[in-house]
Structure 1
């Protein structure tokens, strides 16, 4: 994949991996658009990267997905790359959490339905432009789920499956379907409880972009490759290792 002269939309681009992607891709000569729910975080992102274009958007709502697409299509018809990065997580106990269903709906809408909806909306636009791609950010937890994330794992596993099927269906289409399976990354997403094995956003993005340039379409970051192999050979051990305290 060519990483220069693109117009790239990154969802969840105001912090963490999305923000780091915006910084690096902008520095490489791309026009970068980011969306996020927090207007304050978006403003901070623009202060850090003056060239970036920002869109406030709650991707859990279909009306706001549609509005995002319309604004991008009208103002940046040259958009050729969509990075579905936005995600939310609830660390909770399924049985005891009284708000479990509401939390599940929010995670399913943001983590799974939003990438599906945006892919459907943007596909005709991307097809018109050179070097088109949809990049879905998932996680190594699709291979061995973390028990404290009762819904998050499932949404990412679903997105993993969707990415594989969409890639197969579009194999004769110019739009490349790429999946990036992230390892644990030191971002605000962890709410201050960052696991010791976490790598920096800079390391994660550097590896992701290097493998994108090589043309890989299913990219496993850092130790996710080892987890993938272990889950195939010894799935119970993989699950135990992910959930050790």
Structure 2
């Protein structure tokens, strides 16, 4: 991504893939709005890149997102790209004691309801721009669920279908709707599980390269094999997903 890329809002910007995206965008000269709750995680980057702005927001506070979007657009009218990256996963079986109504609500709110709500709140502004992007970061688990991540898998499947529907709705308009499908990536969320994980920096670089060349579906790393496995060997795909 070069300096011509527009101001970009990255959710979940203080950790994992979001932090890597924020770093790469900032280093390319892109003005970045880094959404998160831990300003300290971005302090070293902000010291080097004054065009990087930390934006504090709790995505689980759904009622506040409409006003948040209004204030954000007023302060940054050149915003033209939204990357819905933030995610939460409780790695446990659905019927274990740790799986509660509250934990279920948290995953659904952060992974699905928040990106849909934030997209809806920003869409009128994005449609007013000559060119704009909504980028939804999903997962291979949207296509084959993991035994220990039933709710997470369901939210990513929901975000996948929302992306497809929004893409249909935006046909012929200035907003491009992109899905970035992740394999198992080495982030704090996946700490202590899985093998051969893709580094977060590599995942972020592939997302940005996919955007640069105009892809609408960006299959990252090993996720590139998912469409083929879905057609040829869906059982194999299901077994692979259990390894994460």
Q: Answer yes or no: same fold by TM over 0.5.
A: yes
> Which of the five TM-score ranges fits, normalised by the shorter chain?
over 0.9
How big is the shift at 1:64?
3.0
**Whole-Å separation in 2 of the counterparts to 1:29 and 1:202:** 17
Match of 1:34, SS state, is strand
Given that residues 136 and 179 in structure 1 are in contact (C-alpha distance below 8 angstroms), is that contact kept between their aligned partners in structure 2? yes
- Structure 2 CA distance for aligned equivalents of residues 44 and 68 of structure 1: 25
Alignment CA distance shift 1:96-1:196 (3 Å): closer
The equivalent residue for 1:20 is 20
Task: Determine helix, strand or coil for the equivalent of 2:14.
Answer: coil
| Aligned structure 1 segments of 4 or more residues deviating by more than 4 angstroms | 42-45, 47-50
C-alpha RMSD of the superposition: 2.0
> What is the CA distance between 1:49 and its match in structure 2?
4.7
What is residue 233 of structure 1 aligned with on the other side? 232
- Verify the 8 A CA contact 1:55 1:68 in the aligned structure 2: no
Q: CA deviation at 1:34?
A: 1.0
TM-score (norm 1): 0.92
CA contact (8 A) 2:178 2:217 kept: yes
Q: 2:27, 2:49 within 8 Å by CA — same for their partners in 1? A: no
Asked if the contact 1:140–1:228 (Cα under 8 Å) also holds between the matched residues in 2, the reply is: no
Which secondary structure state, in structure 2, belongs to the residue aligned with residue 223 of structure 1? Answer: helix
Gaps of at least 5 residues in structure 1 are none
- What is the distance in 1 between the residues matched to 2:226 and 2:101? 30
Q: What TM-score comes out, normalization by structure 2 length?
A: 0.92
* Structure 2 portions without partners, runs of 5+: none
How many residues are aligned here? 244
Does the 8 Å contact 1:2/1:131 carry over to 2?
A: no
Matched, 1:199 2:198: yes
Other-structure match for 2:30:
30
1:119 matched to 2:147: no
- Contact between 2:133 and 2:178, CA under 8 Å: does it hold in 1? yes
Is this contact kept in 2: 1:8–1:82, CA < 8 A? yes
Partner Cα separation in structure 1 for residue 160 and residue 99 of structure 2: 26
